[in-house]
Amino acid sequence: MKKRIRLKGRIKTYLQVGIYLGILLLVINLAVFLIDVGAGGLLLAFTVLYLAVTLSLYFYNKPILMNELISFATEYGQIQKKLLRDLDMPYALLDDNGKVFWTNAAFEAVVHQPKGYNKSITALFPAITRDRLPDDNDLDEAQYELEYEGSEYIAKFKKISLREMTEHSDIIDAEGYNGYLIAVYLCDETALHIALQEVDDQSLAVGMIYLDNYEEALESVEEVRRSLLIALIDRKVNKYISAVDGICKKLEKDKYLIIMRKKTISQLQESRFDLLEEVKTVNIGNEMAVTISIGVGLDGLSYAQNYEFARNAIDLALGRGGDQAVIKTPESITYYGGKSQQVEKNTRVKARVKAHALREIITGKDLVLVMGHRMPDADSFGAAVGIYGIAQNLERKAHIVLNEVPSSIQPIVDLFKGNPDYEDMIINSQQALDAAGGNCVLVVVDVNKPSITECPDLLRVCKSVVVLDHHRQGTDTIENATLSYVEPYASSASEMVSEILQYTYDNVKIRPEEADCMFSGIMVDTSNFMTKTGVRTFEAAAFLRRNGADVTRVRKLFREDALEYKAKADAVSQAEIYKQYFAISICTADDLPSPTIIGAQAANELLNIKGIKASFVLTDYQGKIYISARSIDEVNVQVIMEKMGGGGHLSTAACQMEGVGIIEAIGVLKQTIDTMLENNEI
């Protein structure tokens, strides 16, 4: 296309004004001719002379004026070019393909490239690809953060249309230019980021340290040496905090408040809070090692909010069984430690206090709804039956929310179906939502994670919620509970409810069906009293036995059919021993009604193999991969499952995976184990 440069704007008007005046004189001359021919002739002569002179000057001076304007523009452009060339801010021009064709000295100094660098901007900054630059579409500007040779920059890109440049020019107009350029500016943010990071590092972090088993540890040592044990623990804690330039203040006999800089927390994270292990080395003859829990609050909007975060973190650490550190920020919660088995509390004071509180709540309501987790097991249903019995004895209407009855608990549920004494005992989620009202209490048993409850919507409908669970708490917990009783040391939720039952009202007496149901819950969660079984577990079992629980009847309830037994045996026989200590297997039980239960039982069986520290059985069921994880005492399977989106206990945990196949899920499990072994997390 032919390109030409021409005058425009005020310059063009200024040069042509004489011609316009000449045309005006001609019009006036015509009017004068109509009035007087002589006068018109005289004016015509003057007009012709004027036009001749004006046109001569116009065509003679136009080239001279154009040359002067071009010379001025050239000198003006050279000045601008020199200013841009010497500008302190790194600046460059790109063509519409992202290719660099002009740079200033500051840009060349930053990228260490000589003048005339003629390559794509992507060669300098790999993160800036062509699709991220301004283009022919609506993207006129873009801004990205870059890191180059240890410095941090904000790169600003702006599209410059050549047509718009000429249209806004008062001097020249270029026809046929439809392309555009891209200007790039680099703003060095390194010093600002360093300053902000320094301010952030110096911000306040609040922490709390609790001794998990203070009373139990003191009881295991001679009385005359108890003060020495306390002094040694105090020395360990104070020395550890002082070494990182922190402040430690003892609030109570087993509680400390710590203040330190946020930068210090990073150091503690790198060492994975080795104070957790150091405290255990304090031994002056005490039979029980002392363990601690640490809660830290960070990044709050105020010191008070950091303190509240620290309180929440220490509650989480204690709720997960202690012997671990928890860091809470507004965005995340991080866990460290948790390798020790929970210590059973010998005192039942807490159970008695919670029982009285539960009684007050139930007696103040007209309706009691009880629910456990989805796909309930014997412990979940047994605990629900126990709460149902409490409500009945307190003369309150109660229902157990249960949608589907897994085959594993069908024999237990059949104990109540058709029995006139338990009419309307079991309802589904929709019926529960319809019945729930302002004067209703919801009791959640054997679960503290809202997303896996039988009916999560009930948590929003019921204003009064009670949580009774023995699983370790995770990030996702039921909030704003009126009463929360979460004890990870308990063997089962049925054990906890059995204890509460004894303090709820006088002359406690429950029916044999209810006793069988709760006894079966304890048996299932303890693998027939072989795991997580303490003194209080046997006391709860003895209470149920006195109230009519029959071991023979319970055993018959859990007999397996031939297909289930064969599926479990196949899972055990096909197990892969990974990293010498981990057994991984697949439960292929598509023709069974509850294959996940068989998978959990197979995981328990795999622990009987010598040298196995943890077992994992994967089951493909209803489009999801269910992983059952078990251990005895050496590996915390809960933290492994939490990494994969699940949770549970130190020795009993599980997770669910969607959108993956069984082989891919095994790969994810192995990668998780490898990573945690490398980081010494298990």
Helices (H), 87-137: 105-111, 121-124
Q: How far apart are the C-alpha atoms of 298 and 313, rounded to whole Å? A: 10
Identify the three-state secondary structure at position 428.
Answer: coil
Q: At what angle do helices 512-525 and 535-546 cross, to 10 degrees?
A: 160
Q: What is the band of 551 on the pLDDT scale with cuts at 50, 70, 90? A: confident
Cβ within 8 Å of residue 295, ≥6 positions away: 207, 208, 210, 310, 311, 312, 313, 314, 315, 316, 317, 325, 326, 328
Q: How far apart are the C-alpha atoms of 673 and 664, rounded to whole Å? A: 14
77 pLDDT more than 80: no
Distances, alpha carbon 680 to alpha carbons 270, 279, 477, in Å: 11, 18, 27
Helices (H), 510-561: 512-525, 535-546, 551-557
Q: How is residue 487 written in tokens? A: 């004890």
Q: How far apart are the C-alpha atoms of 644 and 656, rounded to whole Å? A: 8
174 pLDDT more than 50: no
pLDDT at 2: 43
Show the 3-state SS of 637-679: HHHHHHHCCCEECCCEEEEEEECCCHHHHHHHHHHHHHHHHHC
pTM more than 0.85: no
Q: What is the band of 76 on the pLDDT scale with cuts at 50, 70, 90? A: low
Q: How far apart are the C-alpha atoms of 587 and 599, rounded to whole Å? A: 6
pLDDT at 218: 84
CATH class of the region 562-678:
alpha beta
Measured in whole angstroms, the distance separating CA 598 from the mean position of its chain's CA atoms is 32
Beta strands in 391-538 (DSSP E): 397-401, 426-427, 440-445, 464-469, 483-486
Output the average pLDDT for the chain: 83
CB 162 within 8 A of CB 178: yes
Domain 87-196 fold is Beta-Lactamase (3.30.450)
CA angle 306, 639, 450 (to 5 degrees): 70
pLDDT at 72: 65
* Average pLDDT of the segment spanning 205-209: 94
Q: How is residue 570 written in tokens? A: 């196949």
Locate tokens 């069988």: which residue? 516
CATH class of the region 349-557:
alpha beta
Q: What is the band of 7 on the pLDDT scale with cuts at 50, 70, 90? A: low
Poorest-pLDDT segment among 6-10, 275-279, 380-384, 593-597: 6-10
CB 47 within 8 A of CB 29: yes
pLDDT at 466: 92
Q: How far apart are the C-alpha atoms of 519 and 534, rounded to whole Å? A: 15
Q: What is the pLDDT of residues 506-519, one digit of tens each?
A: 777 888 889 999 99
342 pLDDT more than 60: no
* Average pLDDT of the segment spanning 338-365: 74
Cβ within 8 Å of residue 670, ≥6 positions away: 578, 584
Poorest-pLDDT segment among 352-361, 373-382, 429-438, 529-538: 529-538
Q: What is the band of 336 on the pLDDT scale with cuts at 50, 70, 90? A: confident
Q: Is 411 exposed, middle or buried (0-12, 13-18, 19+ CB in 10 A)?
A: middle
Q: The domain 204-337 belongs to what CATH superfamily?
A: Reverse transcriptase/Diguanylate cyclase domain (3.30.70.270)
* Average pLDDT of the segment spanning 551-570: 83
Locate tokens 């078990």: which residue? 630
615 pLDDT more than 90: yes
Poorest-pLDDT segment among 306-315, 449-458, 477-486: 477-486
* Average pLDDT of the segment spanning 306-313: 91
* Average pLDDT of the segment spanning 422-445: 89
CB 416 within 8 A of CB 422: yes
133 pLDDT more than 60: yes
Q: How far apart are the C-alpha atoms of 593 and 602, rounded to whole Å? A: 16
Four-residue CA torsion sign, 527, 532, 533, 536: negative
Q: How is residue 158 written in tokens? A: 């702006």
Neighbours of 528 (CB within 10 A): 12
Q: How is residue 148 written in tokens? A: 């180059």
